Amino acid sequence: MKTNLINYALHLADTTLILSHRNSEWCGHGPILEQDIALTNIALDLLGQARNFYQYAAELMGEGFDEDKLAYLRHPSEFKNHLLVEQPNGDWAITMLRQFYFSCFQYYFYNELKNSSDQQLTAIANKALKEVTYHLRWSSEWVIRLGDGTQESNNRMQNAIEILKEFSDEFFAMADYETALLKDAVSINVKDIKAKWIQKVNDVFEEATLNLIPSNNSQIGGKNGMHSEHLTTLLSEMQTLQRTYPNSVW
Amino acid sequence: MMLLKKYYYGDYGEIEGGVSSNKSETEFPLWEVFIRSKQGLDHKHVGSLHAADVAMAVENARDVYTRRMEGVSIWVVESKHIHASNPDEAESLYEPSMDKIYRHPTFYNLPDEVGHM
């Protein structure tokens, strides 16, 4: 039970941390100042969520563990994030679509998680839901704006759909630790939110004049530590300071 | 033919003489942002930003100007809809009121019977 809960908390922490880091890579490179700030705000929201989950995991793991250790000193194969969030930023369209897919998932996910029997998870879900509601609105509008914009922006968005099509199914694949936590109503069954997610994506795509491409080659395994090479590159950069100068603090 | 020169808020100093409308098509238009704080009754001008449309303008305003809980309400208006007075006309616009001190209440002596007003 405890191991499963630790893994579950780490999965939620890793996913939000990695997307936060990807978004933060745009800091100083956004298309315009205002969008640079907007995406950095989202990165900070996700980082806050990650910290909450890491702190909870560290508390469960007991002495010798803290949030920094979990974020900065674990190997790629120990990370349990979705494969979607470690995908490279690509252009603005890919970053926006990745955010939209993820925020849409998070929105329905936290809506269920706030009924969890675990009070810590409930509290984090309640706090995060307000942030995610805005992320979903913001990213939906970008998908619509680009999809229903110029020929060029529509092409970019359609290209993003093609590139990310293999990665959305992992949202709805249960890892063993998730399944194990179901019987005590700690975790939620992600399969149950698939229909809502598809409905929302279809609604937004319709407004954006975009077509969802079904994938017959879904990539899963991130939640169990099987990652693409992109995560290794990301972590080696993100963890470099803590590994070069152990225990350094701000 | 006399062409009307347009002055945007913030033009003075940087772009003397107003802004012509031949802005690049790829550039987002400029918007002025007004925020009402929790205690305030009026929306106050806080600055400007770029956005492609009104939805983006409101969201950008939220992200740029309310990060520290500055406000409870946001107004945005495209800068081109704001008409400003011409700084070159300052003399004729404002100076005539300088020697009309009787427009200030302090010019008048109140009779004692009036008491505290």
CB nearest to A38's CB, from B28, B53, B63: B63
For residue A168, the enclosing domain spans: 2-244
A122 in a domain, yes or no?
Answer: yes
Q: What is the 3-state secondary structure (H, E, C) of B33-74?
A: EEEECCCCCCCEEEEEEECCCHHHHHHHHHHHHCCCCCCCEE
- Partners of residue A33 in chain B, C-beta under 8 Å: 49-50, 64
CB nearest to B51's CB, from A34, A137, A138: A34
DSSP E strand boundaries for A58-184: none
- Partners of residue A32 in chain B, C-beta under 8 Å: 28, 50
CATH (domain of A52)? 1.20.1260.10
- Kindly state whether A141 is in contact with chain B, defined as any CB-CB distance less than 8 angstroms: yes
Ranges A129-133, A219-223, B56-60, B68-72: which has the least confidence: B68-72
- Kindly state whether A37 is in contact with chain B, defined as any CB-CB distance less than 8 angstroms: yes
Contact A145 B67 (CB under 8 A): no
- Kindly state whether A150 is in contact with chain B, defined as any CB-CB distance less than 8 angstroms: no
Query: A147 CA to chain B: closest CA distance, Å?
Result: 14
Output the pTM of the full model: 0.84
CA distance A4 to A220: 19
The pLDDT of residue A214 is above 90:
no
CB A216 within 8 A of CB A195: no
Q: How far is CA A170 from CA A12, A19, A175, B106, in A?
A: 14, 15, 10, 75
pLDDT score, position B12: 47
- pLDDT tens digit sequence for A181-192: 999 999 999 999
* ipTM greater than cut 0.85: no
- Partners of residue A37 in chain B, C-beta under 8 Å: 60, 63-64
Q: How many CB pairs under 8 A join A and B?
A: 28
Q: What are the sequence ranges of the domains in chain B? A: 26-87
CA torsion B41-B45-B49-B54 (nearest 10°) is: 40
A249 in a domain, yes or no?
Answer: no
Contacts 24+ apart (CB under 8 A), A26-29: A26/A89, A26/A95
What are A206's two structure tokens? Answer: 């319709």
What are A6's two structure tokens? Answer: 């630790």
- Burial label, A21 (beta-carbon count in 10 A; 0-12, 13-18, 19+): buried
pLDDT score, position A134: 95
- Kindly state whether A157 is in contact with chain B, defined as any CB-CB distance less than 8 angstroms: no
- Partners of residue A45 in chain B, C-beta under 8 Å: none
- Partners of residue A34 in chain B, C-beta under 8 Å: 49-51, 60, 63-64
Work out the angle at residue B37's Cα, subtended by the Cα atoms of residues B31 and B41, and round it to the nearest 5 degrees.
100
Q: Domain B26-87 sits in which CATH superfamily?
A: Phenylacetic acid degradation B (3.10.20.520)
CB A212 within 8 A of CB A201: yes
Burial A53-86 (b: 16+ CB within 10 A, else e): bbbbbbebbeeebebeebbeebebeebbbbbbbb
pLDDT score, position A213: 83
The average pLDDT across A178-202 equals: 96
A131 in a domain, yes or no?
Answer: yes
In chain B, % of residues over pLDDT 90: 35
Query: B90 CA to chain A: closest CA distance, Å?
Result: 34
Structural domain total, chain A? 1
pLDDT score, position B23: 53
Identify from B56, B62, B67 which residue to disrupt to test chain A contact, counting A C-beta atoms within 10 A and taking the largest count.
B56
List chain B pLDDT tens, one digit each, 117 residues.
445 555 555 544 444 444 544 455 668 899 999 999 988 889 999 999 999 999 999 999 999 999 888 889 999 999 999 888 888 888 888 888 888 888 888 888 888 888 776
- pLDDT tens digit sequence for A103-128: 999 999 999 999 999 999 999 999 99
- Kindly state whether A231 is in contact with chain B, defined as any CB-CB distance less than 8 angstroms: no
pLDDT score, position B16: 47
Contact A145 B63 (CB under 8 A): no
- Closest Cα in chain A to B30: A34
- Closest Cα in chain B to A138: B59
A96 in a domain, yes or no?
Answer: yes
